[in-house]
Chains A and B, each alone.
Chain A
Amino acid sequence: MITFLLYLLESLGRWIIQYVHSFFAALQLSLVILKRGGVYQSQHRKNHLIQHTITAQIIFSGIDTLFPTLFILSIFIGLGVTAQLILFLQTFSSEAEVIRLLTKFIALQLSPTLTAIILISRSGSAITVDIGNMVVHQETKGLAFLGVDPYVYLAYPRIIALAISQMTLAVYVATFSIVFGIFFSGLLGSPSNFKYFFIVIDSFTNQELFLFLLKNLLSGAAIAGYACYFAFNIQSCITEVPQATQKAIVHSLIVIFIINTLFAII
């Protein structure tokens, strides 16, 4: 029994050490990518190559994800979570407390988390597979021989695009979740619930909004950072691509929850 417990502790410890190592390695790589990309863009202001790549990635990660995936998700969050919370809390809580829960929980915590999960499964995995296949087939080596920095051409636009997409999509999901929630609570309960439309608008402080945007920027960058880190670390075997994808997804999920927790404490 004791041996088994010790084995469990040892495995957990080893996993934590590996995770922390991956976290700092991915963080270092992300900072290097952002620095190189920034230097390239400052030296080539008239070059639209990177901007086109960022735009294409925003279209794929942001616009294509918004409708119908996140839109339908927002409807279900509104109906299944927000409306139910409003109807339940109204019986014993004041108006201010209901609004506080809507803003703190639905808008500032739940919506960004679910948006990040969708983005991880949709874009994070795609980035790892895309870049991973390029590494396995020596396409990145070919780019390097031409003086094209793979970090600048492949990774930098994806980190910027995912940060912008996560921030924008989280705003959309939070808004739609609240709006649909209030709407359904008005339909299922009393039409007087529609008053929350007007009250919720003034319920966010500037600090909360700023931290919300910052949290989502960091989350998006973290998702892309992990995807790129595990993709570029693939050696030469095609079977490493799905393994790297799985690692990127798991590590991204954990860091998203860590970021959310840290910002919730703040």
Chain B
Amino acid sequence: MLIKAEEAQPNENSPALSCLLPENSTLCFHSASINLSLYLQMLDKHFPAYSGNIRYIKPLNTAYINHEIQLVSWLSGFANLTLAANYHQQGSRQEITERAYYLLNYFSCNSIHSSLPNFISPLEKKYFLIARALMLEPQVVFLDKPFIGLNKQEAEKLREKLIPLANEFKLTLITNETGLDFIQRAQAQIIHYDAQKFHQFSHWKPFQHYLKRHEK
């Protein structure tokens, strides 16, 4: 277990969240009625909880990516990738370069690594944004609405990259993707908001039963 939330509210109008966020897995927040971005930002400590408590079991290296963040427009894709790692001196120059090429390979972006962000597609920008965060070897990655701005085909390609991400990089991936298809294929744990309460499900099957029961 990495993060424990105990009746944590981002503001006075939002419902309280109590959950346990596990290691090395994919976790999806799911709701059609409330803004889940605030909860991701609260868990990533962008602001203190209005009430309740959020406890990091051990010091964590986290990364947060949402649709508002952009790459640095005057740096190439590769330079964007290595910027933060060079800034924090996360290894030697050779190690940083090797890790960058590994991530470019994972996201199939080798051919565009020297292109400027304005000359790549929205999907490729998402790849670079995620890869840039992964360069710092985070233990938890918060992906806030990762499929915004992508068409159906691009969203599917991104899903294929995100599903094995937690296993590949030994991290916890937390997202507020609302698509049930992604949740099922990723075999993600789910935190679902319904009837003014958050419910945590460790697997798709119990969540599916819950949805069927409440649809009736």
Is the A/B pair a real complex?
yes
A residues in contact (CB < 8 Å) with B: 44, 46-47, 49, 130, 133-134, 137-139, 141-143, 145-148, 153
Contact B72 A139 (CB under 8 A): yes
27 A-B pairs whose Cβ atoms sit less than 8 Å apart in the complex:
A47-B86, A47-B87, A49-B83, A49-B87, A134-B72, A134-B73, A137-B73, A138-B69, A139-B70, A139-B72, A139-B73, A142-B69, A142-B70, A142-B71, A142-B72, A143-B83, A145-B65, A145-B69, A146-B63, A146-B83, A146-B84, A146-B132, A146-B133, A146-B136, A147-B84, A147-B87, A148-B84
Contact A44 B89 (CB under 8 A): yes
Q: Which residues of A contact B65 (CB under 8 A)?
A: 145
The A/B interface has a contact count, at CB < 8 Å, of 52
Q: How far, in Å, is B132 (CB) from chain A's closest CB?
A: 7
Q: Does B68 contact A (CB under 8 A)?
A: yes
Q: Does B197 contact A (CB under 8 A)?
A: no
Q: Does B64 contact A (CB under 8 A)?
A: yes
Q: How far, in Å, is B75 (CB) from chain A's closest CB?
A: 10
Q: Which of A47, A134, A139, A141 has the most CB of B within 10 A?
A: A139
A206 to B44, CA, bound (A): 57
Contact B89 A47 (CB under 8 A): yes
- Which B residue's beta carbon lies closest to that of A153? B87
Per DSSP, are chain A's interface residues mostly helix, strand or loop, or mixed?
A: helix
Question: What 9 A-B pairs come out closest when comparing CB atoms?
Answer: A142-B69, A146-B84, A148-B87, A138-B68, A49-B86, A139-B70, A137-B70, A139-B72, A47-B89
Q: Does B88 contact A (CB under 8 A)?
A: yes
A130 to B75, CA, bound (A): 13
Q: How far, in Å, is A131 (CB) from chain B's closest CB?
A: 11
Q: Which residues of B contact A145 (CB under 8 A)?
A: 63-65, 69, 133
- Which B residue's beta carbon lies closest to that of A48? B86
Q: How far, in Å, is B60 (CB) from chain A's closest CB?
A: 13
- Which B residue's beta carbon lies closest to that of A149? B87
Q: Which residues of B contact A153 (CB under 8 A)?
A: 87
Contact A147 B73 (CB under 8 A): no
Q: Which residues of A contact B70 (CB under 8 A)?
A: 137-139, 142
Q: Which residues of A contact B84 (CB under 8 A)?
A: 143, 146-148
- Which A residue's beta carbon lies closest to that of B75? A139
Task: Beyond A137-B73, A138-B69, list 18 extra A-B contacts (CB 8 Å).
Answer: A47-B87, A49-B87, A134-B73, A137-B70, A139-B70, A139-B71, A139-B72, A143-B83, A145-B64, A146-B132, A146-B133, A146-B136, A147-B87, A147-B88, A147-B136, A148-B87, A148-B88, A153-B87
Q: Which residues of A contact B71 (CB under 8 A)?
A: 139, 142
Q: Which residues of B contact A148 (CB under 8 A)?
A: 83-84, 87-88
Q: How far, in Å, is B146 (CB) from chain A's closest CB?
A: 15
- Which A residue's beta carbon lies closest to that of B83? A148
A143 to B65, CA, bound (A): 11
A133 to B73, CA, bound (A): 9
A36 to B82, CA, bound (A): 22
Contact pattern, B 179-212, Cβ under 8 Å of A = 1, otherwise 0: 0000000000000000000000000000000000
Which residues 88-123 of B have a CB within 8 angstroms of A? 88-89
Q: Which of A133, A137, A142, A153 has the most CB of B within 10 A?
A: A142
Q: How far, in Å, is A143 (CB) from chain B's closest CB?
A: 7
Q: How far, in Å, is A81 (CB) from chain B's closest CB?
A: 39
Q: Which residues of A contact B89 (CB under 8 A)?
A: 44, 46-47
- Which A residue's beta carbon lies closest to that of B74? A130
